[in-house]
Amino acid sequence: MASASLESWIDSLQSRGRYSFLRSEAIGNSELSASAVSKALQRAVKRGRLVQPKEYFNVVVPLEYRAAGAPPVSWFIHDLMTAMKLPYYVGLLSAAALHGASHQQPQVFQVLTDRPVRPMTAGRARIVFYCSKYVPRAATTEMKTPTGKMRVSTPETTVVDLVRFVKAAGEMDNVATVISEMASAINPKRLIAALAVSGDVPNAQRLGYILDLVRHRPLADAVHRWVARRDERLQPLRPGQPFKNAPENRRWQLLLNASIEVEA
């Protein structure tokens, strides 16, 4: 393709339902040099036709999303992570919202992968990555998107991660509120399987306490049985916060160094 037909090629991708492509694809389908293709792509970016979360990864911006600067991240996150050759799943508040927890919509699109990745922007959207070595083993589900699919943590994996990454989830009050919204969708056996992936006893204690707090006793009892078979030790409810003279919750072996308020 000549330089003038690059946009026609992009249009042809969009007409087939594809909204992302690699720079190498454009070069491979072009009679131009790599440098010329890169310049043509940059011109398309300046016109708002494309956005580049990574220098080698291009997202087609349809007309209805020009004001936002990019289509929704869900349209291209699977292709982006495939291009980066990283395991991933959409998690935390982004996953909670997809599972029906609508109390607080996430301000960023949250993705877990198995190594550090810097945040990215695509138009007005910001993609933030969280590192967990357990990503390849965590339970996920595939959700359909307008352009294909994306990998999302199950409700059980989501609530476990919300407690593990409490700061990313808006601290304990927000975590408890979101868990209260999701609890009816959680299967006790799958919850225990999600806890077993990391074997993180302290955060299981915190999760169990929250489940008691939001009055989902069957789930809390399942977590308690799992915790009781392991080496549980006295832990602060809020990590990193002072806990001297804090009252003790003996069921969960927690020092209640802060209160948790669940929003209705």
Count of positions (residues) in the chain? 264
Domain with residue 29: its CATH number is 1.10.10
For residues 145 and 25, membership in a common domain is answered with no
Q: Considering the domain boundaries, does residue 262 fall inside one? A: no
Q: Say how many CA atoms lie within 13 Å of 158 toward its Cβ.
A: 31
Last residue of a domain, one of 15, 45, 65: 65
Identify whether the C-beta of residue 76 lies closer than 8 Å to the C-beta of residue 59.
yes
Q: Considering the domain boundaries, does residue 263 fall inside one? A: no
**Distance from C-alpha of 192 to C-alpha of 196, rounded to nearest angstrom:** 6
Q: Considering the domain boundaries, does residue 156 fall inside one? A: yes
For residues 39 and 112, membership in a common domain is answered with no
Last residue of a domain, one of 33, 65, 97: 65
For residues 229 and 125, membership in a common domain is answered with yes
For residues 61 and 142, membership in a common domain is answered with no
For residues 38 and 154, membership in a common domain is answered with no
Which DSSP string do the residues of 120-146 spell out, in sequence order? EEETTEEEEEEE-TTGGGS-EEEEEET
For residues 151 and 187, membership in a common domain is answered with yes
For residues 242 and 145, membership in a common domain is answered with yes
Q: What is the pLDDT along the chain (264 residues), one digit of tens a residue?
A: 455 578 888 999 999 999 999 999 999 887 778 898 999 999 999 999 999 999 999 999 999 999 999 999 999 999 999 999 999 999 999 999 999 997 667 789 999 999 999 999 999 999 999 999 999 999 999 999 999 999 999 999 999 999 999 999 988 999 999 999 999 999 999 999 999 999 999 999 999 999 999 999 999 999 999 999 998 899 999 988 888 899 999 999 999 998 999 987
Q: What's the domain range around 228? A: 73-255
The secondary structure of 195-234, three-state, reads HHHHCCHHHHHHHHHHHHHCCCHHHHHHHHHHHHCCCCCC
For residues 109 and 228, membership in a common domain is answered with yes
For residues 90 and 50, membership in a common domain is answered with no
Last residue of a domain, one of 31, 49, 65: 65
Q: Considering the domain boundaries, does residue 19 fall inside one? A: yes
